[in-house]
Structure 1
Amino acid sequence: MIDLRLLREDPDRVRASQRARGEDVALVDALLSADELRRSSGVRFDELRAEQKQLGKLIPKATPEERAELLKKAEQLKTDVKAADAAQDEADAEAKRLLLQLGNLVHEDVPVGGEEDFVVLETHGTIRDFGAEGFEPKDHLELGEALGAIDMERGAKVSGSRFYYLTGVGALLELALVNAAIAQATEAGFIPMLTPALVRPRAMEGTGFLGQAAENVYHLEKDDYYLVGTSEVPLAAYHMDEIVEADKLPLRYAGFSPCFRREAGTYGKDTRGIFRVHQFDKVEMFSYVDPADAEAEHRRLLEWEKQWLTGLELPFQVIDVATGDLGASASRKFDCEAWIPTQGKYRELTSASNCDSFQARRLSVRMREGKKVQPLATLNGTLCAVPRTIVALLENHQLPDGSVRVPEVLRPYLGGREVLEPVAK
């Protein structure tokens, strides 16, 4: 959530942020009114309690005639205090409800617009000219089936559409990617983490995934648990309700977990293969930093993602995501999109998001420097979303005979294999 003091001092900035996101600007004024009522309710309660305490001191000293009148007044004050307390709680709850609906303030440099209004910041690598090489590229599913690496048919039989099996060399390729990603993150100073896939509502709400993103979250109603769509959620909640000493920052974690997404609203989109699925594994970088260092850490996360994709020898571009596609928690987000030959376009493989103190305020994660205690900043960056990375690897490194060249960075994790060969049917 944002700082309410900022809302009071500069509501126009908050309105501009809402407008840029394509969200309801009227929410800002509703929240201002709710905040004013919350504060005035608190003042009213405090005044009545003070009067009640003062009256309590007078009663023992009063004459019998005065005491009867004071006791009558005390009874009325008791009723008034109770009502004021209830009004204060109601006002607090309404202000919190509205505050949780408000997205993070967007960074002033973020391009304004929707999904297609991003700005390309960099391009890396060379797109292969398959025509010049004399063959038509196959898509990842055709390649994966020939390699004995992907089984969509049995995935659908067992679990339904958008589920799959990684088999044989496909399973080995996932393990190689995960191990290589964790190795890179560990070398960069991240602490490896295996995180829970089920979280309580506060963890999911605290990271901002129960607002506009709620439709893509799986909820187990009987137990009131949520399946995470990214290990960002348990990593953000790891230090929930804690105070971290400033000299311990930055804290960096690399989480590996299964991820679950409903993919609501994507009917008919990316239905072939494993590019958009309901369950996948991912290595996620997560940082807790001093707010003053958040922008620099955001750039560092991006550099680690670029290092990873360069090591996989994939052509990719870096984009500055537009305001309408940020998600509630991020003030700014950079995506790395890899070239997918059979689609003839770049597609998202990684994201790096700066959430400033938005998540930390909701989860009560604070830093202490001397006597000062304040919310810290959180950032997250995908290092390897496994299925999409496999898609990009198979299509970009395919050879005319249907085999696939293995980038050097992965060979130590694949028993030295240089090429993945099709299996005999």
Structure 2
Amino acid sequence: MIDVRLLREDPGAVRASQRARGADEGVVDAALSADAERRAAMTRSESLRAEQKALGKRVASAQGEDKQALLARARQLADDARAAAARAEELGGAYEELLRSIPNVVEPGVPAGGEDDYAVLREVGAPPSFDFPVRDHLELGESLRALDTERGAKVSGSRFYFLTGVGARLELALLNLAVERALAHGFTPMITPTLVKPEVMAGTGFLGAHADEVYRLEADDLYLVGTSEVPLAGYHAGEVLDLSSGPLRYAGWSACYRREAGSYGRDVRGIVRVHQFHKVEMFSYCRVEDAAAEHERLLGWEEELLAAVEVPYRVIDVAAGDLGSSAARKYDCEAWLPSQQRYRELTSTSNCTTFQARRLGVREKGPDGANRPVATLNGTLATTRWLVAILENHQQADGSVLVPSALRPLMGGLEVLTPAG
């Protein structure tokens, strides 16, 4: 959740963030009003309790009718104090709900607007030109016997698939390369749970506007994660971290599940938008002062891996209205897809500042010795969708696909994927 002090001391900044996101500004004033009413009720309850306590001293020395009157007054004060406390609790619940409904305050410089209002920061690599008809990743994958969506649909339904043979090997090589690079940059590799408790899913901000994207197991009251960001954010919930030696960095490898609600008819061909995939996710806990620099580092490591698999891409600064509720800023890396003649998102990295840590109770010792929330950041280092860009950008006229040199050692030296006979 957002910083309460910021809401109280600079509500204009929160309103400006809401405007940039295209979100309701009224919730800011509603939260401020609920906060004021809650604190007033608490103050009244405390005042009544103090008056009741002072009256109790007089009761001890009172006699007769005076004593009975004082006792009656004390009982009334106790009733009024309880009512004020109950009212404060009621208002506190409403205030907490309003506070949790406010998304993270966007960073200065984030483009205002929606999905199409991003800013292109740079383009890296030239899109390939082919002197033969371009095949899309599904056609290539099927001819290589690397991808089987027909049997995926037969077994599990639409937007499911099998990676077979060289397809499975290519994904494993990619994800293992991601882990190797993460290790080189000081990350601790993690194999994470893919089922989490409601409080962890809510703590990361995934049960807000996009809750319908999440799979829930009602019988067990558990959620399937769409990214290992969720269990990694919950890993240190309720703890006080030692960040004196720098950020704590984890690289989570997990299966990921997304309902893709609302995407009917979009990207139905191939594996661009699917219900299940694998991913290596970077996650960092750091001091608030270091968060912006850490964000740039995560982006740099994503770009390093994109360069390693030799696909052209661009980096965009995502507009405020297209950010998730937890993110104060997000950069996307979009790879060029020859079959679509456009860039498509492969990876992203978000700076969530203290938003998730406040919800999950993750703190560190501040410069003054007091506990304070940490900043959390995340970034995708590699995922199944990367196969789409690798297959399409490295295709040859005969339907074969060149294996990027960085992946060859992880595929037993295989240099070319050739169509099955």
User: TM-score scaled to structure 1, two decimals?
Assistant: 0.96
| CA separation of 1:422 and 1:56: change in aligned 2, threshold 3 A | farther
Alpha-carbon contact 2:299-2:349 (below 8 Å) kept: yes
* Mapping of residues 162-177 of structure 1, within 5 Å: 162-177=159-174
Which residue of 2 is the match for residue 54 of structure 1?
A: 54
Which residue of 1 is the match for residue 250 of structure 2?
A: 253
> Which residue of 367, 370, 373 corresponds with 1:372?
370
Instruction: Work out the CA distance in 2 between the residues paired with 1:398 and 1:148.
Output: 15
Instruction: Work out the CA distance in 1 between the residues paired with 2:207 and 2:245.
Output: 30
Give 2:314's aligned amino acid: Q
| Deviation of 1:247 (Å) | 0.9
Which residue of 2 is the match for residue 236 of structure 1?
A: 233
Alpha-carbon contact 2:228-2:253 (below 8 Å) kept: yes
Compute the RMSD of aligned alpha carbons. 1.3
* Mapping of residues 379-390 of structure 1, within 5 Å: 379-386=377-384, 388-390=385-387
Q: Which moved more, 1:156-165 or 1:246-255?
A: 246-255
**Secondary structure of the equivalent of 1:294?**
helix
| CA separation of 1:64 and 1:248: change in aligned 2, threshold 3 A | farther
Which residue of 1 is the match for residue 156 of structure 2?
A: 159
Which residue of 2 is the match for residue 68 of structure 1?
A: 68
Q: Give CA-to-partner distance per residue, 1:3-56, whole Å, 9 cap, x none.
A: 121112111211111011011111111111111111111111211222233334
**Secondary structure of the equivalent of 1:285?**
strand
Which residue of 2 is the match for residue 148 of structure 1?
A: 145
**Secondary structure of the equivalent of 1:130?**
coil
| Deviation of 1:246 (Å) | 3.5
Q: Give CA-to-partner distance per residue, 1:210-240, whole Å, 9 cap, x none.
A: 1111121112222221111111111111111
Report whether the alignment pairs 1:392 with 2:393. no
Which residue of 2 is the match for residue 23 of structure 1?
A: 23
> Which residue of 321, 325, 341 corresponds with 1:324?
321
Q: Give CA-to-partner distance per residue, 1:345-371, whole Å, 9 cap, x none.
A: 010001011111111111111111352
**Secondary structure of the equivalent of 2:407?**
helix
Q: How many residues of Structure 1 are paired with residues of Structure 2 in the alignment?
A: 420
Which residue of 2 is the match for residue 5 of structure 1?
A: 5
| Deviation of 1:186 (Å) | 0.8
Report whether the alignment pairs 1:313 with 2:274. no
Give 2:375's aligned amino acid: A
Which residue of 1 is the match for residue 178 of structure 2?
A: 181
Give 1:153's aligned amino acid: E
Report whether the alignment pairs 1:207 with 2:204. yes
Instruction: Work out the CA distance in 2 between the residues paired with 1:189 and 1:246.
Output: 14
**Secondary structure of the equivalent of 1:73?**
helix
Instruction: Work out the CA distance in 2 between the residues paired with 1:203 and 1:335.
Output: 25
Give 1:45's aligned amino acid: S
Which residue of 2 is the match for residue 77 of structure 1?
A: 77
Report whether the alignment pairs 1:139 with 2:147. no
Instruction: Work out the CA distance in 1 between the residues paired with 2:44 and 2:340.
Output: 63
Which residue of 1 is the match for residue 300 of structure 2?
A: 303
| Deviation of 1:83 (Å) | 1.2
Which residue of 2 is the match for residue 113 of structure 1?
A: 113
**Secondary structure of the equivalent of 2:386?**
helix
Give 1:309's aligned amino acid: L
| Deviation of 1:65 (Å) | 4.2
Q: Give CA-to-partner distance per residue, 1:218-277, whole Å, 9 cap, x none.
A: 122222211111111111111111111231431101011111111111111100000100
User: TM-score scaled to structure 2, two decimals?
Assistant: 0.97
Report whether the alignment pairs 1:409 with 2:384. no
Give 2:244's aligned amino acid: D
Alpha-carbon contact 2:175-2:383 (below 8 Å) kept: no
> Which residue of 341, 345, 349 corresponds with 1:352?
349
| Deviation of 1:78 (Å) | 2.5
Q: Which moved more, 1:48-57 or 1:377-386?
A: 48-57
Give 1:52's aligned amino acid: Q
Q: Give CA-to-partner distance per residue, 1:134-163, whole Å, 9 cap, x none.
A: x11211111111111111111111111101
| Deviation of 1:173 (Å) | 1.3
Report whether the alignment pairs 1:280 with 2:277. yes
**Secondary structure of the equivalent of 2:167?**
helix
Gaps of 5+ in 1: none
Give 1:171's aligned amino acid: A
Which residue of 2 is the match for residue 42 of structure 1?
A: 42
Q: Which moved more, 1:110-119 or 1:66-75?
A: 66-75
Instruction: Work out the CA distance in 2 between the residues paired with 1:222 and 1:341.
Output: 44
Gaps of 5+ in 2: none
| Deviation of 1:116 (Å) | 1.1
Instruction: Work out the CA distance in 2 between the residues paired with 1:202 and 1:258.
Output: 20
Instruction: Work out the CA distance in 1 between the residues paired with 2:258 and 2:251.
Output: 20
> Which residue of 337, 342, 351 corresponds with 1:340?
337
Instruction: Work out the CA distance in 2 between the residues paired with 1:58 and 1:291.
Output: 53
Instruction: Work out the CA distance in 2 between the residues paired with 1:51 and 1:118.
Output: 59
Which residue of 1 is the match for residue 92 of structure 2?
A: 92
**Secondary structure of the equivalent of 1:409?**
coil
**Secondary structure of the equivalent of 1:145?**
helix
